[in-house]
Amino acid sequence: MGPFRDVRTIVLPIVGKAKRDAADVLGVVFTDASGSRVPAVELFFRNLIANGASTRTPYSYAQDLLRWWRFLHAVGIPWNRASRTEVDDFVLWMRQATPKHGGDWRHRSEEGAPAVGGRFAPRTITHSIAVLAAFYTFHEQHDGPISPVPPVGRNNAHHNPGQPFDHSRRADGRQKIPWTAPKALTDDEADDLTASLRHTRDEAIVEFFLSSGARASELLGMNGEDLDWGRQRIRVRRKGSNAEQWLPASPEAFVLLRKHLGTRPLPWGVPVWSTLRGQSRRLTYHAFRAALRRAQHRAGTNHTMHVFRHTAAYRFANESDMTVPQVKELLGHRFITTTQIYTEARPEEVLEAAAAYLRGERRQPIARGPMLQYSDKARRALFGRPPA
């Protein structure tokens, strides 16, 4: 056995690309260090699309595969010669590496901008290993190399009732993911963020996010026919299934959108959200994230775009009369357990309630009104005799 790699010295080179391409059947173009497309990756993506996945799935998987491809390039190992050692080193490298701003390895954060800091999240590492497992398992089943990624397995899949359950640990490479409540904006934080935006278009987008609970890709992908001005609702195409669904939006959102558009109509097929400079084209996720980042740089905050969806979910689940199944349908969740996390008490709410109790602020008891009394006539009709 040779010497172990020092993963702390590994620096991923900026080689290869994973770019969206609407004209491509896969929705993404994946290239290696030489700029050539990778047949093994394209074959895997084609299988995903053939099995009903949307084009967003290959693009998501491509980000993890690109990181793996760059790691293999740095250690000088071809993808079909990678072993368990490379997988373990990749996990160790991710556990100590610092992600670049916004997850983009090509650009560092602007000077003075809030830094991401920290390490790759355990959920990100586990997702990367899951993608590698799916990639290598596919090729292993099609005369490819043996998968170097340890399988997940099924604990107690063939359990003998006469034996105790095997409380085995997690599968190798998968990280322990601590449960944390989804981050949501308070009313003051939402107002401060909106005040830092410099254009009515951005204010309208944020208001649509907060009032509809739509995902970023769903909201930014709307066209003119997806607006119902009369009923004040929008139509989005859901992540994964691409199914169409109408969502409500606040009157303030439509007022801001009309203020942004003026008298300009939105015909069918025309994007609702367009760029403000140069030739008008659809506003992409990365372009709006950059605008949001600049606004937060001025405000001194560092919220992600997905925090808008969490905020809307908390408001629907706790401040409205909607039931949890209704909120699940509105958010487009597959399982109700995903929606139930928004009914949990938020840490700031717990702290405020506890502090109020310690300050001696007691909740006032509900005043009881006078008990209702039956009239003599009613009691006579009920019991058939004069009241005692």
**342 a catalytic residue:** yes
Candidates 101, 235, 239, 258; catalytic one: 239
Q: Which residues make beta-bridge pairs with 19?
A: 29
**159 a catalytic residue:** no
| CB neighbours of residue 47 within 10 Å | 15
Candidates 215, 303, 310, 315; catalytic one: 215
| CB neighbours of residue 364 within 10 Å | 6
**259 a catalytic residue:** no
**239 a catalytic residue:** yes
Number of Cα atoms under 13 Å in the Cβ half of residue 333: 19
**Which amino acid would we find at residue 291?**
A
User: Are 308 and 215 spatial neighbours (Cβ–Cβ below 8 Å)?
Assistant: no
Interatomic CA distance for residues 77 and 379, integer angstroms:
92
Candidates 67, 174, 260, 309; catalytic one: 309
Interatomic CA distance for residues 304 and 116, integer angstroms:
11
φ/ψ (deg, to 5) at 341: -65, -20
Candidates 258, 333, 346, 379; catalytic one: 333
The separation between CA 267 and the C-alpha centre of its own chain, rounded to angstroms, equals 30
Give residue for tokens 């996390």: 341
Give residue for tokens 């300009």: 264
Taking alpha carbons only, the member of 208, 193, 216, 203 closest to residue 259 is 203
**Which amino acid would we find at residue 237?**
R
**Which amino acid would we find at residue 201?**
R
Candidates 259, 286, 306, 334; catalytic one: 306
Active site residues: 215, 239, 306, 309, 333, 342
